[in-house]
Structure 1
């Protein structure tokens, strides 16, 4: 397993194309999903320098903070609450151009301006979400969605047991 990644300059697509195989190599064969989530969060933060990137894990019908990189975050989120709770409850990707315009947005950090949240699955059910925040408006798009979905598929393939 590699203990570092190569950070490149370039277009968003070039950055993802460089990073995804590196992340796949890091998580390949690693059974501990918390460790994998931690390394994924770190790699994404290093390459893209997003404001916040990390995971929330479903525990007893709420999202609980998992591995992340960035400032202090909300610890628990109820189903349907905020962008993360909505993505979890509705099992869909949420791209929010301006979090202040999202009804019920949870302001864990006032510096966060836009967000993308993607559900994480195991055996056909949502067991968590990947949450990425930016300090810039309209920072995320379908390109991010496409590549982050590929990343989550690679992570999901390593699941041997629910978290």
Structure 2
């Protein structure tokens, strides 16, 4: 019966979706759905096929609405409101340039640290070692590490203030 009604079902689905390609997809999905259905007596095969086709269209509409709502929610989370109008929450090109310049200034300031303070600072702040681990690695006391880091922090504050 499906073979006999295929053209009719295709026109029915094209009218419902407004898209012949989507209608073709739905006809294929209809075929798969009726093949997977439990075999059993069906009183009116034609009505059954049209009902399954209509349900497929409704499923697609619901899926499209969910996708649009999800996409809209995501887009809303990526924008901020300024004076009631949407503004992109991503950093501007100017903000990116400033951020790069600040990172370059910080890297230069770290490179200019005195030797002992620089090693202690890099091991503790950049490599994530504890004061005790830095002390063991450098062969100095914990208080020596603390003094080196204090010197490094003071040097960086001065360098970045300028």
Structure with more relative contact order (C-alpha pairs < 8 Å, separation 6 or more): 1
TM-score (norm 1): 0.19
Q: Which has the higher strand share?
A: 1
Question: Max radius of gyration: which structure?
Answer: 2
TM-score (norm 2): 0.19
